[in-house]
Chain A
Amino acid sequence: MDKDRTVHPYIPNSVPSVQEEMLAEIGAKDIDELYELIPDELLFRRKLDIPRGYPDEYSLRRYMNGLLAKNTPTSEKLSFLGGGCASHYVPAICDVINSRSEFLTAYAGEPYEDHGRFQALFEYASMLGELVDCDVVSVPTYDGSQAAASALRMACRITGRNTVIIPRSLNPDRASIIRNYCHPQIDVLTVDYDKRSGLLDISDLKQKMSKHVAGIYLENPSFLGVIETNAEEIAGLTHDNGALLVAGVDPISLGVLAPPLQYGADIVCGELQPLGVHIYYGGGRGGFIASADEERIVSQYPTRLFGIVPAVDRAWGFGDVAWERTSFARREDSKEYVGTMAALWGITAGVYLALLGPQGMRDVGQTIMERSTYTAVQLGQIEGVISPALDAPFFQEFVVNLDNARKTAQEMNDMLLERGIYGGIDLSKDFPELGESLLFSVTEVHTKDDIDRLVRSVRQVVEGR
């Protein structure tokens, strides 16, 4: 019996008299007896070295608030950090819907009791499908990097080949995730980029292309922000070699940028966070994979796919398409594996797209382009600052070079921090060929005053004031 214990609010049956009643029903004398299958030598005898805790909620809140107070979020300062995790406005309704008990605490129910979950995810796929111009969209995977890695494995299975090519200009973390995911069966080659423009180096790509190449991964816009203007030529090259083009996109750009199937991509993937999900220290991530409705491609998706089905009462029903692909059905004979990934962010992205609509998606793309272009141009007016440092059209993010400003990227960020500004991402370690450079991200949340303050501050730092 567990007498003399606090009855914790999360554990109703810690009430001693109830425990007695239940043990009597079971015919056991105490709870210890229920652990009979665990051998004695495996029983943990001492008390866990974990604090006593704060069982009353007020004390817990006081304690947690104390810890959280040590964080200074982007919203309390002025931040230009992006790199695949940019600040965007999250409409209030996105938060209302994804914090509803029904969605927040549901899991893996059937289409009967969880009909709404299925419909919301089918609609998410339908709206994202329009944005990327694809008839098939996956239930969300862990993040955009996982989506890219799975899309490349799909390309290998579809073509029966075992080499993929990724750009050197990729986010190094994403490159690491892809390499690890492809290891050991698949060779991952890197194609260089043109240092002047940031665009993919086509002659290097031609050199690396071979009959072993299953897929080329291209990002639009790239990690360095540039719009890959040669995408159509790259698609042609890829297809001439019997390979597939996998395009990674930032979905918030697709109100103004062309959906990748229109320039020849075969599989599209990307990150859902810009569509109504907070950044959560990089923890608010969800990925998607999309394509045309071709059986040779659909049969290679590793994720769940929800389809629409008739019901007896002529309602819209839903279920799992081609279940036999998945590891839930086939264990080691499946396409990769599937598990709990990021469904809630898919529902949220659907809410976001429904709120913005066709005009909103165009508007947000335009505002981002206008404000980021303005920022790049204004920074470029400062003596010694090269901005934008890459000579190609860009979306949202752009490289700023400080080589002639006699400041390192780190020094600039430190001095901006003193002025209450989180500057750009320091590229000097991962992209030394770009010199002392920062990657700035400007979105719809940055007003002209914000931008002018940044420009003033950078000027002060450069001028040593």
Chain B
Amino acid sequence: MSGKETGFHQARWNEPIIYDLTSLGERGILVPAAEAEIRNRVGDVISHIPEGMRRKSAANLPEMGQSRVLQHYLRLAQETLGRDLNIDVGQGTCTMKYNPPINEAFITTPKIADLHPLQDERTVQGVLEIVYRLDKFMREISGLDRFSLQPGGGSHAIYTMASMVRAYFEEKGEKRDEIVTTLFSHPSDAAVPRLKGYKVIIVPAEEDGFVRRSSLEKVVSERTAALFITNPEDTGIFNPHIRQFTDLVHAAGGLCGYDQANANGILGITRAKEAGFDMSFFNLHKTFSSPHGCGGPGSGAIGVTDELAPFLPVPLIGYDEKNDRYFLDYDIDHTIGKVKDYYGVIPAVVRAYAWIMSLGAEGLRQVARVAVLNNNYLLHKMLKIKGVDAPFAPGKHRLEQVRYSWEELAKETGVQTTDIQRRVADFGGHYWMSHEPWVVPQPVTLEPTESYSKIELDTYVSILERIAHEAYEDPDLVKGAPYNSTIDKMDDHSYLDDPEKWAITWRGYQKKYSRYFEPKVDDPEKG
């Protein structure tokens, strides 16, 4: 087998852009027409639209028979490597766990799919009960007192936390203008506070990867509105001083927000409450198994203590015990209002609920324990590969993930982590490096979750082992990858960064180029 052959090849359909599949006059689906009696009664309704508000020419959409539309999208599906098709441990921090198909049955049924958010409460008791009960489960898992399932993702939950922090201090009449976070917290823990008008303070970590209490002490003051911190961090290291951190911030009068987007290693093991947090959130599309959908819809379940509960978004779901009736509760004293349409991403809520009901209390704990077992097993196997290291906390066990570094391999071979990333595609795998900035040089973040067997973990390690070997033997092979993917390497990033060259839609492309990226020279605007 030559170096380019791996035994795998991703689907490579050379599928045209959909506009090149158009065939004038073909139809993909017909729309019901109004009955003749209706038409006779109302006449030419289009002509009733005032001239300036009427569409003059039909939208330039493709014209395709139904079979061709299906074929096109199935080919694009085949050119996408969903979690179900690979050993998805290479997408660290994202908890790419198994998404049981049974849970899809609970949302594709009309009993969920066809519910309108404003239909009478008496007709939606089932879904309200699910939301109510999931809130209760989240309370138990975190130790906090009340949850809202409204946010549409983890970053949206951070946004909800920041909104509540602001409302809380406005209500108290305290002017605090800083939010403190760490470099190993998610980028949104820094970006969102800025959006909500806060100055963002980053506490530096020491060389061993830990943030010291003394470093935090230097930046916490009467200006501190809150600490937003991810724990365990993206390095998979649980911050052992977390309780001292929250005590310190509370002593200065600030609030503490826990980013538990990924709580997969600690379900039933340790909780936000005991760590001293006022707010915390879980991503239902990570820890609680709702599928990631190519990048959403997800869900961020946001929980708070009783003190902050009056600031949660409305509505919450209440239960009237006397009448055995669930209801939408808008009666929340200092609510920040709404952060999302209606009540959140119900499909994710229903799946997460069903997932918990499959596992039960003992199963949840097993999830965390096996996720941590898998991760430490993977760590030990990985460290046997030449050129890779796991910076920070040397000799210590990690929780659910590890951020590795190929610094040594890069120095010795010139092969970068970005090259390895492209090469992993040749083996039918994923490989995610790290959020920016790259504090860990040449990073890759691996998170095996509880979903993969020992054999699968061994297989993933063997792929990286082979690529590392290739890097030492034939670095150009790795640098030229991929060879067995849907497309070859894309070299020229100017097409993404130069406003003269980028094209974000097909019509945008056609204004700038003809055929295959040949710039149009007869652009009248440029003379």
- A428 part of interface (Cβ distance < 8 Å): no
Contact B380–A145 (Cβ < 8 Å): no
Contact A336–B119 (Cβ < 8 Å): no
Task: Decide yes or no: A354 and B69 within 8 Å by CB, A73-B114, A104-B99, A110-B425 being known contacts.
Answer: yes
Task: Decide yes or no: A345 and B503 within 8 Å by CB, A105-B292, A358-B59 being known contacts.
Answer: no
CA of A113 to CA of B77, assembled, Å: 11
CA of A26 to CA of B383, assembled, Å: 11
CA of A95 to CA of B105, assembled, Å: 12
CB distance from A134 to the nearest CB of B (A): 8
CA of A274 to CA of B198, assembled, Å: 37
CB distance from A124 to the nearest CB of B (A): 9
Task: Decide yes or no: A51 and B516 within 8 Å by CB, A38-B238, A279-B114, A351-B73 being known contacts.
Answer: no
Complex interface: chain A residues within 8 A of B78 (CB): 102, 116
- A198 part of interface (Cβ distance < 8 Å): no
- B41 part of interface (Cβ distance < 8 Å): yes
Complex interface: chain B residues within 8 A of A36 (CB): 396-397
Q: Give the number of A-B contacts (CB < 8 Å).
A: 742
Complex interface: chain B residues within 8 A of A422 (CB): 116, 119-120, 123
Complex interface: chain B residues within 8 A of A184 (CB): 166, 196-197
- A380 part of interface (Cβ distance < 8 Å): no
- B112 part of interface (Cβ distance < 8 Å): yes
Q: Mark B487-521, 1 if CB is under 8 A from A, else 0.
A: 11111110111010011111111010000110000
Tally of chain B residues near chain A (CB < 8 A): 215
CA of A184 to CA of B436, assembled, Å: 28
Task: Decide yes or no: A48 and B366 within 8 Å by CB, A126-B505, A311-B487 being known contacts.
Answer: no
Q: Give the 7 A-B residue pairs with the shortest CB-CB distance, closest first.
A: A53-B360, A282-B342, A339-B155, A283-B346, A282-B117, A70-B126, A116-B79
Which of A173-181, A189-197, A200-208, A400-408 lies at the binding interface? A173-181
Q: Which residue of the partner chain, among B238, B343, B506, contacts A281 with CB atoms under 8 Å?
A: B343
CA of A96 to CA of B30, assembled, Å: 18
* Other 9 A-B pairs with CB < 8 A, given A116-B80, A122-B506: A53-B356, A53-B363, A97-B77, A127-B61, A220-B53, A227-B49, A315-B488, A340-B283, A356-B29
- B106 part of interface (Cβ distance < 8 Å): yes
Q: Which residue of the partner chain, among B336, B372, B425, B482, contacts A180 with CB atoms under 8 Å?
A: B336
- A268 part of interface (Cβ distance < 8 Å): no
Contact A85–B116 (Cβ < 8 Å): yes
Task: Decide yes or no: A323 and B496 within 8 Å by CB, A74-B119, A146-B340 being known contacts.
Answer: yes
Q: Which residue of chain B is the closest to A362 with respect to CB atoms?
A: B58
Complex interface: chain B residues within 8 A of A319 (CB): 490, 493, 495-496
Complex interface: chain B residues within 8 A of A311 (CB): 487-490
Q: Which residue of the partner chain, among A106, A179, A280, contacts B107 with CB atoms under 8 Å?
A: A280
Task: Decide yes or no: A281 and B112 within 8 Å by CB, A48-B364, A126-B506 being known contacts.
Answer: yes
Complex interface: chain A residues within 8 A of B91 (CB): 107-109
Query: Which residues 341-388 in B have Cβ within 8 Å of A in the complex?
Result: 341-349, 354, 356-367, 369-370, 372-374, 376-377, 379-381
CA of A23 to CA of B16, assembled, Å: 50
Q: Which residue of chain B is the closest to A305 with respect to CB atoms?
A: B504
- A240 part of interface (Cβ distance < 8 Å): no
Contact B337–A113 (Cβ < 8 Å): no
- B70 part of interface (Cβ distance < 8 Å): yes
CA of A134 to CA of B29, assembled, Å: 25
Task: Decide yes or no: A177 and B77 within 8 Å by CB, A8-B363, A334-B191, A393-B48 being known contacts.
Answer: no
Query: Which of A48, A108, A130 has the most CB atoms of chain B within a 10 A radius of its CB?
Result: A48
CB distance from A244 to the nearest CB of B (A): 19
CB distance from B383 to the nearest CB of A (A): 11
Contact B83–A255 (Cβ < 8 Å): no
- B84 part of interface (Cβ distance < 8 Å): yes
Contact B112–A68 (Cβ < 8 Å): yes
- B39 part of interface (Cβ distance < 8 Å): yes
CA of A445 to CA of B91, assembled, Å: 42
Which of A10-18, A209-217, A383-391, A457-465 lies at the binding interface? A10-18
Q: Which residue of the partner chain, among B15, B38, B58, contacts A359 with CB atoms under 8 Å?
A: B58
CB distance from B305 to the nearest CB of A (A): 17
Q: Mark B3-26, 1 if CB is under 8 A from A, else 0.
A: 000000010001101110000001
CB distance from A73 to the nearest CB of B (A): 4
- A342 part of interface (Cβ distance < 8 Å): yes
CA of A48 to CA of B267, assembled, Å: 9
Q: Which residue of the partner chain, among A50, A79, A105, A111, contacts B83 with CB atoms under 8 Å?
A: A105
Which of B212-220, B248-256, B450-458, B470-478 lies at the binding interface? B450-458
Contact B337–A179 (Cβ < 8 Å): yes
Contact B397–A308 (Cβ < 8 Å): no
Q: Which residue of the partner chain, among B31, B118, B490, B505, contacts A309 with CB atoms under 8 Å?
A: B490
- A270 part of interface (Cβ distance < 8 Å): no
Query: Which residues 26-56 in A have Cβ within 8 Å of B in the complex?
Result: 26-28, 31, 33-39, 41-44, 47-55
Contact A298–B296 (Cβ < 8 Å): no
Query: Which residues 340-354 in A have Cβ within 8 Å of B in the complex?
Result: 340-345, 347, 350-351, 353-354
Contact B243–A102 (Cβ < 8 Å): no
Task: Decide yes or no: A10 and B100 within 8 Å by CB, A48-B141, A112-B425, A344-B294 being known contacts.
Answer: yes
Q: Which residue of chain A is the closest to B274 with respect to CB atoms?
A: A42
CB distance from B98 to the nearest CB of A (A): 5
Complex interface: chain A residues within 8 A of B344 (CB): 283
Query: Which residues 304-337 in A have Cβ within 8 Å of B in the complex?
Result: 304-317, 319-324, 327-334, 336-337
Q: Which residue of the partner chain, among B69, B120, B159, contacts A413 with CB atoms under 8 Å?
A: B120
Q: Which residue of the partner chain, among A185, A324, A355, contacts B29 with CB atoms under 8 Å?
A: A355
Contact B46–A341 (Cβ < 8 Å): no
Query: Which residues 131-148 in A have Cβ within 8 Å of B in the complex?
Result: 131, 134-137, 139-140, 142-146
Contact A278–B113 (Cβ < 8 Å): yes
Contact A308–B509 (Cβ < 8 Å): yes
Complex interface: chain B residues within 8 A of A328 (CB): 187, 435-436
- A412 part of interface (Cβ distance < 8 Å): no
CA of A47 to CA of B267, assembled, Å: 11
Q: Which residue of chain B is the closest to A369 with respect to CB atoms?
A: B45
- A367 part of interface (Cβ distance < 8 Å): yes
Q: Mark B187-202, 1 if CB is under 8 A from A, else 0.
A: 1101111111100100
- B42 part of interface (Cβ distance < 8 Å): yes
Q: Could you name 28 residue pairs across A and B whose Cβ atoms are closer than 8 Å?
A: A2-B366, A10-B98, A22-B377, A34-B376, A36-B396, A37-B397, A37-B399, A42-B243, A52-B361, A53-B360, A71-B127, A72-B124, A104-B293, A115-B10, A117-B294, A127-B18, A130-B507, A137-B505, A142-B156, A232-B52, A278-B113, A283-B343, A304-B295, A312-B488, A322-B502, A337-B195, A341-B295, A448-B34
Contact B274–A135 (Cβ < 8 Å): no
- B163 part of interface (Cβ distance < 8 Å): yes
Contact A337–B191 (Cβ < 8 Å): yes
Q: Which residue of chain A is the closest to B63 with respect to CB atoms?
A: A357
Contact B163–A107 (Cβ < 8 Å): no
- B60 part of interface (Cβ distance < 8 Å): yes
Contact B50–A393 (Cβ < 8 Å): yes
Contact B363–A55 (Cβ < 8 Å): yes
CA of A74 to CA of B155, assembled, Å: 32
Contact A258–B156 (Cβ < 8 Å): no
Complex interface: chain B residues within 8 A of A306 (CB): 504
Task: Decide yes or no: A229 and B50 within 8 Å by CB, A282-B343, A362-B58 being known contacts.
Answer: yes
CA of A417 to CA of B55, assembled, Å: 38
Complex interface: chain A residues within 8 A of B271 (CB): 42, 44
CA of A184 to CA of B102, assembled, Å: 44
Contact A310–B517 (Cβ < 8 Å): yes
